[in-house]
Amino acid sequence: MSDVTTIEADVPERYADAVQTRLRRAADEDIVGRLWRRDGTLWAPEGTPEVTNRLGWLDIAERSREELADYEQLRDELLRENFTDAIVLGMGGSSLAPEVFRQSFRPAENGLRLHVLDSTHPDEVAKYLDKLDLSKTLAIVSSKSGGTIEPMSMYKAFAARMPAPNFVAVTDPGTSLETLANTKGFRRVFHGDPDIGGRYSALSAFGLVPAVVAGYDVAAVLDGAITAGEECRSESGGNGGLWLGAALGELARAGRNKLTFVADDPLSSYGVWAEQLVAESTGKHGTGILPIADEPLLAPEAYGDDRVFLHVAVEGGGNAGKLRALKDAGHPVITLHALGATDLGRIFYLSEFAVAVAGWVLEINPFDQPNVQEAKDNTSRVLKEGSGGLEPGTLGELTEGLEPPAYYAIMGYLPYSEETEAAVARVRQRLIEQHKVATTWGYGPRFLHSTGQFHKGGPKTGRFLQIVDEPQQDLEVPDEPFTFASLIRAQADGDLETLRNHGLPAVRIDVKDLKEL
């Protein structure tokens, strides 16, 4: 499955011509050669930070192969000691690939049950503290920078209940998390590659330590990524990553900038990982590609002309008929054929390469995230000083004159619940049917590390609905002046303020009012 026939393109002629012109330009400007030579001027002037030192992902799969035995040693040791569960405590690039592995692979007999916690909602944190047998649980504290408030808060809650040998850290060399791990006596520290940014770290220790501990077939995942890497060295035909990046970039330039994922089982969670890759990489300086994950899939006439559909197709997946109708109606549909969970390495790699190429097409640096810091700063300020009372706003502000290319973002600072999922799916379907707009849905604070960058840095076309609740319980964050309930509320307040500071319509409702929408 390594050749480009694994990607099928149904792109109307007017766009296909632009893609061909772009590919010719890529050949003339030696884009593939320069990418592999790590020439940062593809994206930004020489010397710009976060460019040339963000390209370690190009060959990380080969290097990760060398580390597998070490990760396996940890897994075997834990199994011998009768550990049963492992939980990743991390955000964004430090948690989303493990979450996709977890949802895509079947639980393995020779591994621990894997869980991923990427929330500061006290009910969500308490759920894992209560349901796991903590004496037999490994906590994988994952943070590239080692200083992100969410994983460090989660760590403190778990550390108050579990001994140090039940922890390992995954972090870049020399971070404060590494120092903490050594001081406290964590079982192990695994290093990430400092030349890889968070959202490109899936095939490094951040994605792989949890996957190996869970007993998944990581060697096959890496083989797929290595094959995709070979394909992406091709300077002419047959380079799927180059083609995909050129196509997504040109479609976005032509107004088709809502990249709608339709991923068949068992890869249906692909979108939660790809969302961060696409949104944080491209959503900046007023441009970008908005990833749309887990939206109800409707008939062609429901959609505006701002869509492109990316179908991750697994044989026997049930979406083919609906996608055929979309193609026939003239929507661009790109099909990425996949074999199943072990094919994730190839799919991750092609996606990463494509987004790097799309960055060149869109003339932005895909490796920085200039607007993420604002929401973090506002959160810190609210934690220290309070928010001074925020007006909720009125729902009419969000739907007035709502039509493409606008999009409607729903952001829930809530614990996961089937009921909320169903209610949000209903609201999304209605918005698409009534207004033809693209809709996104994300849990806070997870989406702050993903679509949050696009919200503030991308085109100013978003309408934002924030949903909050009163947690059923609160939970201390040991050694901190804030609790989990005050932290998540400060994150919600900080984000609402940041959106409004950008002049964007942002309204808050309580989860109880979701039924009324």
- Is 284 a binder of ligand F6P (CB under 6 A)? no
Least separation in angstroms between CB 147 and ligand F6P: 7
Specify the DSSP element, H or E, that contains 212: helix 205-213
For residues 225 and 372, which CB has a smaller minimum distance to ligand F6P in the complex? 372
Least separation in angstroms between CB 346 and ligand F6P: 22
Among the listed residues 64, 137, 148, 439, the single contact to ligand F6P using CB under 6 A: 148
Per CB under 6 A, the segment of 52-60, 144-152, 357-365, 418-426 that binds ligand F6P is 144-152
Per-residue contact string for residues 166-205; x = within reach of ligand F6P by CB under 6 A: --------------------------------xx------
Strands (E), 156-281: 167-171, 188-191, 258-263
Helices (H), 254-371: 270-282, 320-328, 344-362
Yes or no: say if 90 and 142 are a contact pair by the CB < 8 Å rule.
yes
Q: What is the 3-state secondary structure (H, E, C) of 36-49?
A: HCCCHHHCCCCCCC
- Return the amino acid letter for 415: P
For residues 143 and 287, which CB has a smaller minimum distance to ligand F6P in the complex? 143
Per CB under 6 A, the segment of 120-128, 141-149, 318-326, 464-472 that binds ligand F6P is 141-149
Per CB under 6 A, the segment of 132-140, 143-151, 218-226, 229-237 that binds ligand F6P is 143-151
Q: Hey, which residues between 370 and 409 contact ligand F6P (CB under 6 A)?
A: 372
Yes or no: say if 203 and 61 are a contact pair by the CB < 8 Å rule.
yes
Least separation in angstroms between CB 369 and ligand F6P: 5
For residues 276 and 420, which CB has a smaller minimum distance to ligand F6P in the complex? 276
Kindly give, in sequence order, each residue whose CB lies less than 8 Å from that of residue 386, ignoring residues fewer than 6 positions away: none
DSSP for residue 284:
B
Yes or no: say if 9 and 338 are a contact pair by the CB < 8 Å rule.
no
276: helix, strand or coil: helix
Between CA 454 and CA 342 the distance in angstroms is 30
Least separation in angstroms between CB 166 and ligand F6P: 20
For residues 177 and 326, which CB has a smaller minimum distance to ligand F6P in the complex? 177
160: helix, strand or coil: coil
Indicate the Cα dihedral angle 323, 324, 330, 331, nearest 10°: 10
- Is 144 a binder of ligand F6P (CB under 6 A)? yes
Least separation in angstroms between CB 500 and ligand F6P: 20
For residues 64 and 450, which CB has a smaller minimum distance to ligand F6P in the complex? 450
Least separation in angstroms between CB 470 and ligand F6P: 27
For residues 353 and 447, which CB has a smaller minimum distance to ligand F6P in the complex? 447
For residues 239 and 369, which CB has a smaller minimum distance to ligand F6P in the complex? 369
Number of residues that bind ligand F6P (CB under 6 A): 15
Per CB under 6 A, the segment of 32-40, 98-106, 137-145, 250-258 that binds ligand F6P is 137-145
Kindly give, in sequence order, each residue whose CB lies less than 8 Å from that of residue 438, ignoring residues fewer than 6 positions away: 258, 260, 290, 292, 295, 304, 306, 307, 404, 407, 408, 432
Kindly give, in sequence order, each residue whose CB lies less than 8 Å from that of residue 440, ignoring residues fewer than 6 positions away: 290, 291, 292, 293, 407, 408, 409, 410, 447, 451
For residues 92 and 224, which CB has a smaller minimum distance to ligand F6P in the complex? 92
Residue number of the CB atom closest to ligand F6P:
198
Q: Hey, which residues between 80 and 119 contact ligand F6P (CB under 6 A)?
A: 91-94
Least separation in angstroms between CB 264 and ligand F6P: 26
- Is 511 a binder of ligand F6P (CB under 6 A)? no
Least separation in angstroms between CB 42 and ligand F6P: 20
Least separation in angstroms between CB 270 and ligand F6P: 17
Q: Strands of 85-89's sheet, edge to edge?
A: 113-117, 85-89, 137-142, 167-171, 188-191
Query: 438-443 and 167-171 as β-strands: parallel, antiparallel, unpaired?
Result: unpaired
Among the listed residues 2, 48, 53, 145, the single contact to ligand F6P using CB under 6 A: 145
Q: Hey, which residues between 427 and 466 contact ligand F6P (CB under 6 A)?
A: 449
Among the listed residues 119, 369, 486, 491, the single contact to ligand F6P using CB under 6 A: 369
For residues 94 and 379, which CB has a smaller minimum distance to ligand F6P in the complex? 94
Least separation in angstroms between CB 144 and ligand F6P: 4
Q: What is the maximal distance between C-alpha atoms in the chain?
A: 62
For residue 213, which of 353, 68, 402, 49 has the smallest C-alpha distance? 68
For residue 320, which of 310, 307, 311 has the smallest C-alpha distance? 311
Least separation in angstroms between CB 382 and ligand F6P: 18
Between CA 432 and CA 37 the distance in angstroms is 44
For residues 148 and 335, which CB has a smaller minimum distance to ligand F6P in the complex? 148
Question: In angstroms, how far is CA 102 from the centroid of its own chain?
Answer: 14
Position of tokens 């076309």?
Answer: 461
For residues 198 and 366, which CB has a smaller minimum distance to ligand F6P in the complex? 198
Does the CA dihedral 447-451-457-463 come out positive or negative?
negative
Per-residue contact string for residues 244-273; x = within reach of ligand F6P by CB under 6 A: ------------------------------
Interface residue list for ligand F6P (CB under 6 A): 91-94, 143-145, 148, 151, 198-199, 280, 369, 372, 449
